[in-house]
A and B are shown apart, each in its own frame.
Chain A
Amino acid sequence: MIRGLLLRVAILLSLLLGVNYIAWRWLASVNWDAWWIAVPLVVAETYSLIDTFFFGLTMWRMKERGIPDPPADATVDVFITTYNEPVPLVLATAVAAREIRYPHRTWILDDGARPEMREAAAEAGVGYITRSENWKDRPRHAKAGNLNNALVQTDGEFLLILDADQVPDPDILTRTLGHFEDERVALVQTPQYFGNVDAADVLGSQAPLFYGPIQQGKDGWNAAFFCGSNAVLRREALMQLGIAGYVEAVERSVRGTLRTAAAVVRKARRQARNLPERRALSIVARGVREAQQALEGGAPLADATWRFQQAVSAASRLLVAADVQQINAVLVSLGGGADLEERPLDDAELDRLASSDLSPLGALASVRSLAQSLDVIRAEEAEALAPLATISVTEDMATAMQLHSQGWKSVYHHEVLATGLAPEDLGTMLQQRLRWAQGTLQVMLRDNPLFKQGLSAGQRLMYFATMWSYLSGFVAIVYLVAPVVYLCFGVLPVEAWSFEFFVRFLPYFLANQLMFVLASRGTRSWRGQQYALALFPVWIRACWSAAANVLFHRPLAFVVTPKSRTEATRPPWRLVWPQVTAVVVLVIALVVGLTRFALGDADGTGVLVNIVWVVYDLVVLSIVFRAARYTGPPSKEA
């Protein structure tokens, strides 16, 4: 109680002092003569103040929940998702899952469809699911697709989702299911905790600040995030999302296509090569008109599109018949062939010929794509319903936001109930962070929470806060460059390092630290702070690759990790060259700055402020040197 009050005071204090400082920075202290560094710096500082605001807002309503009793008779499916993880590792998780105390069924969702995995599952007595035939030659949507495929083959009211390496505690269901007594709760997320990480946590795998104060804070705003694993979901909520998404997609596809369909068919008719084609296309054109009229008359989409689809198959049959006749005529003239006059092809035969992609109408590409999108079956997708969102490589955040926008609640349950394996080398770790950042930014660009219908103001800000934090890479560059520019060239981004500056900056800085200490409640958050800055190249890369992906449909960039053992034994410096470069430049700046001061060429306070600044940057960045040399925790046998 007292602690909460104190925290709120610290939050208010740091925001007030922050506004006081930033306002002064903009209004009275920007050195406009050196605008090229002065303006980026004040913008970066403003970014950080907004970040502080989001952090304070998150902490304002931190929620600590109890552990309600589980329901007596819920049905649960436990899903273990895997693609290429070693069979023994998946099996260890599966066996632990089988032993969970609450009645449930355990399934291995093997996206790799490995026979040895199937055997291992059978031996362990757990279920085994692979993609159905429907997914052949269709977008697979990674983990979201894997889960969506399993959803339609199972029937539990609740789903516990586990990554292949997340070994569950036997009590994971008894501890979490009680939260679903509230019928509007769709999700209970528990922490992700890694067992193969020592106290130093060189790669910054544990996220005690996130799986703690931050998730508890988001929970206070009914915005606890779904993090993809160690979470329980309500099937009904997911299926409702799937259905809402289906209706929306079908409406968009049909109405959107109908707007241009007439023009497409007209163009195809102009390019028709012969009489049968022209006749077929006039049938298609009539189908388009009928579909339009039906929709205007208020007919459901299935009816309107059915008429159009019938027209398309009539047109296809006509073309096939014409082709068959022509081929037969040639065969007859060569002394072979069948007498079609005597036994014309029946409807079933024509249907078979006409329905395949080889049919002549299919060759008119524009008409074929019309026929695909003027339908209610989402022909391009394996499943008509996508309960787990597929708009991002991080399906979890997108799905949770969708749930929240439909009025569902989420819960953060602050108790470690599964133990996983963190990446053990820098390359894998960088790849993972890049993917998280990319996914988050994809959601920001495709379905921005600030404008999304159905979210409360608090939820909008909680989602946006996380997206905002991933923009920090650009800001980090400014924070690295500004002191270098001063120490090497004496260029001042502020008017002066004066009393005016310190009297505003220091209280803000101290209040900020106080807020952080009170909020983090003794969790070891230093590693996280280091990586927030030290991974600036990853954040920048995520920004441009997510933008290129969403706006220009480019594939997402990824980190190329060393494959062979020999390569892995040398530290992968290539992966962190920007950080190494930054360190070299900072050290040079340190030397130059001190030399200039010794020669009486620089102001003492300025040099002192900037040296402190550079040393801080160096201490933060030093983690990448340890990370590059890291090769996993000492093995247990040793």
Chain B
Amino acid sequence: MEFTEQKLPGGTHEIAPRGRLNLVAAPALRSLIAERVQAGNRRIVLDLQGVDFLDSSGLGAIIASLKTAREAGGDLRLARASDAVVMVLRLTKVDRVLRVYADSGSAFADA
């Protein structure tokens, strides 16, 4: 799994994973976000367009990262999920907790 990152206007930090966000990629995503938050990037948006498979470990890493970001006074938001990913969010009921924004730019529009 690869991650591309960029700074968005307004100080949001975008991370775009590509490939399978599964048990192998989960620890990497988790520690990447922890590092970024530690470095002061407290608003993280995950662009999920390149993610074609998401398992429970991947989802677990997303939830753990949400905790990391919020404990630092920031937040983690999701954007541009594929149908497959949206399906996983629905089946696990995580859609009751997390919203998927249309794109990274609008994810932090309210903050």
Contacts and interface: CB of A to CB of B under 8 A. Distances in A.
A239 B61 CA distance: 10
A236 B96 contact: no
Interface in A119-159: 152-157
A375 B70 contact: yes
Contacts of A250: 97
A376 B94 CA distance: 11
A559 interface: no
Interface in A197-234: none
Contacts of B93: 244, 247
Interface residues of B, number: 30
Given A155-B27, A157-B23, A236 B64 contact: no
Interface string A301-324: 111001101100100000000000
B73 interface: yes
B94 A383 contact: no
B19 interface: no
Contacts of B63: 243, 246, 384-385
Interface in B65-111: 66-67, 70-71, 73, 75, 77, 92-99, 110-111
Given A243-B56, A309-B70, A385-B64, A152 B94 contact: no
Interface residues on A, range: 35 or more
B100 to A, nearest CB: 9
A355 interface: yes
A303 B101 CA distance: 11
A78 B57 CA distance: 18
A169 interface: no
A459 B108 CA distance: 47
A309 B71 CA distance: 11
A240 B23 contact: no
Contact of A251 (B30, B56, B92, B96): B96
Q: Which of B23, B61, B110 has the most CB of A within 10 A?
A: B23
Contact of A243 (B60, B66, B70, B99): B60
Contacts of A379: 71
Contacts, number: 90
A310 B75 CA distance: 11
A157 B92 CA distance: 19
Interface SS majority for chain B: helix
Given A152-B27, A300-B97, A240 B56 contact: yes
Interface in A175-200: none
A170 interface: no
Nearest to B97: A301
B24 interface: yes
Contact of A300 (B24, B70, B71, B98): B98
Interface of B: 23-24, 26-27, 30, 55-57, 59-61, 63-64, 66-67, 70-71, 73, 75, 77, 92-99, 110-111
Report the 7 A-B pairs with minimum CB-CB distance, sorted nearest first. Answer: A239-B56, A377-B67, A300-B99, A384-B67, A301-B97, A247-B93, A240-B56
28 contacts: A152-B26, A152-B27, A152-B60, A153-B27, A155-B24, A155-B26, A235-B57, A239-B55, A242-B56, A243-B92, A243-B94, A247-B96, A299-B99, A300-B96, A300-B98, A300-B99, A302-B98, A306-B110, A306-B111, A307-B110, A310-B111, A375-B70, A377-B70, A378-B67, A383-B67, A384-B64, A384-B67, A385-B64
Interface of A: 152-157, 235-236, 239-240, 242-244, 246-247, 250-251, 299-303, 306-307, 309-310, 313, 351, 355, 375-379, 383-385
